[in-house]
Amino acid sequence: MESLPRLADFLPYILSITSNAVSGRIAQEYRSRFGLKISEWRVMAVLGDAGSLTQRELTALTFMDKVTVNRACKLLEERGLAWRQPNSRDGRSHYLELTEKGHRMHGEIMPLALEMERRLLAKFDAEEVAGFKSLLDRIRQEAIDLDADGLDSGRYEF
């Protein structure tokens, strides 16, 4: 009988715990300074980059489940960091957009996140960082392609 690989060698596990460690470290900063959870910041970050989006689009872009995105959107609205506007093409959905206050907060948090990224990657040269980001992008795209091939399109967490 073949022995199974150890969990510590299983790529989805490695990616998950690495992501949690990095996100958790950065989250300490914006939780203590701005009172945001990871999901709320992730929605804000995507809205800051992309502009006005529906919750369905936010769910797809953040790779979070729709309940988590919905909860994050409601909290951002309650804090005056985002607002909804009707979707004229689909009366059942709304667009979410950062308010002026939300844009200001986004502008304060992004430099902190970028500084944390700089510190995390400080011991790697530019070629290593570029290669690493390229590999991660390829793995993410493969996961998306597997979904398109008819596999379960649920969110992946280990």
Tens digits of residue pLDDT in 61-105 = 998 999 999 999 999 999 999 999 988 887 788 999 999 999 999
The pLDDT of residue 49: 94
Please tell me the class of the 7-123 domain. Answer: mainly alpha
pLDDT confidence of residue 156: 42
| pLDDT of 91 | 73
Query: How do the residues of the chain divide into helix, strand and coil, expressed in percent and rounded to 5?
Result: 65, 10, 25
Position 77, amino acid: E
Supply the Cα-derived Rg of the chain in whole angstroms: 18
d(CA 66, CA 72): 10
**What pLDDT is recorded for position 155?**
47
Please state the pTM of the whole predicted model: 0.80
* Residue 118: how many other CB atoms lie within 10 Å: 9
C-alpha triplet 74, 38, 83: angle, nearest 5° = 25
Domain ranges of the chain: 7-123
Q: Which amino acid is at 71?
A: R
Q: What residues contact residue 132 under an 8 Å CB cut-off, 6+ apart?
A: 124
Cα-to-chain-centroid distance, residue 68:
11
**What type of residue sits at position 141?**
Q
Q: Which residues of the chain have pLDDT under 50?
A: 153-158
CA 61, 63, 67: angle at the middle one, nearest 5? 105
